[in-house]
Structure formats: C-alpha cells, structure tokens
Structure 1
Amino acid sequence: MASTALEAVQDWLLRFPHRPINHSLPPSLILYLVPPLPSRQTTAICLTLVALIAMRLYFILPGPVSDDFLRRAASKSPSVGGTKKEGDQQAERKVRVGLFLGSGGHTTELLQLLRALPPGRYAERLYLYSSGDNFSLQKAREFERTLVPRSSDDTPPLHTLEVPRARRVHQSFLSTPLSLLYSLAFCIDHIVRRPLVDAHITRRAQWRQRRARQGWNDDGARCPFADLVLMNGPGTCVPIVVSIYLLKFLGLPSPKLIYIESFARVKSLSLTAKLVRPLVDRFVVQWPEAAGPLGGRTVYNKWLI
C-alpha cells in the first residue's frame, strides 16, 4: 500500500508542472501571494521624495570650478587685494583642522604636509586614526612634541579620535558591508551628532552670558567638528566624507574637504581616491598622469613631500 501511495505522489509531481497554476492552487491563495500594487498617492509621494533628494544632492555636490574663477577669487582674497584690517582678521582666526592618519606611508606623508602649515594658525588639530593603528598615534604624539619648545617640560595636549576600520586587511568581502556600516554609524555619531549637541549646549551658555560680556563673538556659522579636514586615504576616510555630507545635506555648517593622493600613485588613482573625488572640495595629485585631465577642483602642484 505504501508503494501505491508513493507512485501516486510521483505521478502527481510529474503532472504538476504541466498544469496551469490556477488549477494547482486556489485563486484566493494566488491573490494572497501576489503583492498589491502601490496606490497612485503612494507612488507620487515616493517619486517626489526621490526628486527632492536628487535636487538637494545636486546643489551640495561641489561642481567644476574654472581656472578663471580661481584667479578671480585669489585676486579678491584679503592677502592679495583686501585691506590690511581684513587680512589681519583672517590671519588671527584660528583654523580647526582634522587630519585622518591612514597608517604607514599615508600617516608619514600627511604629517610631512602638516609641517608646511603655520602651527599658530592651525593650532587646533584633531587626529583621526583607524582602530588598532598605534603607529599613527605614536607619530602624532611625536609631531606634537616637536611644536613644544625644548626648554619646556610640559606634555602637549593631543586630541584624537579612533575610527573603526571600514575594511580590515584581508577581510572577506562578505563581511565588509557590516564593518563599513558600523564605521559609518560611528562617524555620524562622533562627527555629526555629538559635536552638534556640544555646540548647542555651549551656545546656550554663551547666550545667557552675552549681556555681561563685551565683544561676544557668535561662532555659530562654523562647524563644531572642524573647519578643514585633510585626508590621503585609505578606505576608512570614505565614511568620514559621507558623514560630513550629511551635515551638508541638512544645511548645517560643514568643514571643507581636501584629499591629497598618495605620492606612490603615479599612473592611476587609488580606489579610495576615485570614490571621494566627486565629493571633496579640492583633490590634489602629485603626479599629473595619475588624475588624467586637470582643472577645476583637481590640482597638481608637483611634489608636496
């Protein structure tokens, strides 16, 4: 009897693919399995949101900058054509700079570039480094010690932020999206949310004391995280750039982004450079063959290190 039942099941399975689906399954079950189409109102709302997001991204993405525009901007800068008072005000303003140390040669190159900046004006420095990168942390400490007079025994303050790696060395591509999302969430929390909350608390305290203080300076137009971010790779700087673009998307003050391609990239750009090139305000190469056609936001100033 068991063999008869098995033969019946096999016969039904053989005939099932040749039968129409409405003969094999009841119509009510078919209607339940097929998802309903969205209504016209829902479709219109979704299309409107997509259009608004696309328009916002179009306006915040840095567009191509002509060489004539750069020359006109340089001629109008206070250091060239401005008044002495304007030049003094610009020179007195301290710039808060964030530096992403990418470990190894990336860290060495970026610290060499940092030595060319006036330490008095770029006095507020925040070093960002990947998790577990003790080499970059030690190099940042050594650099800060070089700025302290030898006669002084004081330990210079070191402001750092350890960022989770977007992708570890030899990490599987299957687990990379998870680590990338974790790194992005960390950057949004420490670059966007926490600085905004701290700035709001500080501004409330200044607002309460403004009548008792003379010459109170409203610093609300500046980004609470940094005024400028310098990067030269590798991939962990991508979540940093994306989190900063969240500030731009929300219309909040955001730092300028400058990416300097590594000296080792002679003929072609790195993958990180290709990803961040459309997003940064200045893209600097040290070999003209690496970036292809120059101009606009792509700058070639020969060797920088």
Structure 2
Amino acid sequence: MTVIQRAPLLEPEKKKITTTTVNPVNPFSTTAGCMIVIGLTIVSSIVLIILGRLFYFIYYERGQPVNDKSKTIKTMIILGSGGHTTEMLRVVKYLNFNNYTPRVYVHADTDQMSENKISDIDNNDDVKVLKIPRSREVGQSYLSSISTTIIACLNSAVFLWFEKPNLILCNGPGTCVPIY
C-alpha cells in the first residue's frame, strides 16, 4: 500500500493594508482663506447685479429718445461733496427747468452742504431730494468700504427703480458709483 501525502494547503499571504487620511483643503481654516472666499462672493455678486441691470435696461427698458420738444425729461442729478457739487450745480444752473422736470437730486446722507446749495439754486415745486449712504467716507479703509458700497448700491437701486429717470447727470464722485 502506497500512502500519498498531501501537501499542506498554503494560505495566501495577507497583505498589510495601510490607510492614509487626506484632509481636503478647507478655505475657512485660515483667516486669509475666509477673507478670500468672502471677497470673491462679494465681487461675483456685484458683477451679477451689474450684468443683470445691464441686460434689463437693454432688453426690457429700451426707451426711444424723446424727440418731442413739448415732452419733459425726468432728470436725476447726482451731487458729490465739495467741488463736485459746485461743478454739477454750475451745469444745473444752465438747464431749462421747463424741459428738465421733474428733477431728482441725490446726495450723500452726511453731506449737509449739498442740501443747502440745492435749496439755494432750485426751490421749485417739482424738485425731490434723496439721500443715499456714502460708499466710502474720507479716511475709511478700503476693506470696510466693501460693505458700505454694497449698502449704498442697494439703496440706489431702490431709488432708481421707483424714480425711473430719463436722464442721469453725474460728474464722477463716489456718490455716482452706486447709481451707475
């Protein structure tokens, strides 16, 4: 009798499995990362608002120029502070108030001088004076001016929506940025 021995069963070698934990980059883990995310959110929001406003005026509010001399033009006049107010009021002085009526004056809420000059030059019944918050006070940091500019833009959007001027006169002060 012949005995056949079986070879012992070989167990497969167990491989050692190592795991590594990969932490995803969290932009909120640092103050700088958080500020970058907030800044990008604000900038993209402003760009979307401007583009939306542009498309709205191009496609929905496209008005025809006023050719009829008997029609009046609702005019919004933006006053800055100091020299900007003086320059704009020089222009307003030469307007024919019969054609450019009603007039809506807009100035910063902290600018008392502009309000006084409006009453000196134009005290008719068809005048409205609106105040908006300043985008940036003199000496205010650029970082903190982001939030105040957004607030000024939102207030200006409300005024533009309800007033719907045919003509906006401005000469480039910081008060014009939210209106534009």
| TM-score greater than 0.5 by the shorter chain | yes
Q: Deviations over 1:158-178 (max 9, x none)?
A: 411101101100111221111
Residue 186 of structure 1 and its aligned partner are, at CA, apart by 1.3
Contact 1:165 1:183 in 2 (8 A): yes
Query: Secondary structure of the equivalent of 2:134?
Result: coil
Query: Secondary structure of the equivalent of 1:175?
Result: helix
CA distance in 2, matches of 1:184, 1:190: 10
Aligned position for 2:92: 114
Aligned residues: CA RMSD: 3.1
> Is the counterpart of residue 164 in structure 1 residue 155 in structure 2?
no
Larger relative contact order, structure 1 or 2 (CA cutoff 8 Å, min sep 6):
2
CA distance in 2, matches of 1:190, 1:123: 17
For 1:1-305, list aligned pairs within 5 A.
Answer: 26-27=19-20, 29-30=21-22, 33=24, 60=58, 90-145=68-123, 156=125, 158-192=127-161, 195=162, 224-241=163-180
Q: Which runs of 4+ in 1 moved over 6 A?
A: none
Query: Secondary structure of the equivalent of 2:142?
Result: coil
Query: Secondary structure of the equivalent of 1:160?
Result: strand
Query: Secondary structure of the equivalent of 2:137?
Result: coil
CA distance in 1, matches of 2:172, 2:88: 10
Give the AA of the match of 1:188: A
Contact 1:141 1:158 in 2 (8 A): no
Seen in structure 2, the aligned counterparts of structure 1 residues 176 and 94 have a Cα distance that, compared at 3 Å, is same
Query: Secondary structure of the equivalent of 1:129?
Result: strand
Contact 1:100 1:128 in 2 (8 A): yes
Unaligned runs of 5+ in 2: 1-17, 27-47, 59-64
Query: Secondary structure of the equivalent of 2:129?
Result: strand
Give the AA of the match of 2:102: E
Seen in structure 2, the aligned counterparts of structure 1 residues 136 and 33 have a Cα distance that, compared at 3 Å, is same
Say how many residue pairs are matched: 133
Percent of aligned pairs with the same residue?
Answer: 30
Residue 34 of structure 1 and its aligned partner are, at CA, apart by 6.5
CA distance in 2, matches of 1:106, 1:176: 20
CA distance in 2, matches of 1:184, 1:111: 23
Contact 1:97 1:226 in 2 (8 A): yes
Larger Rg, first or second structure (1 or 2): 2
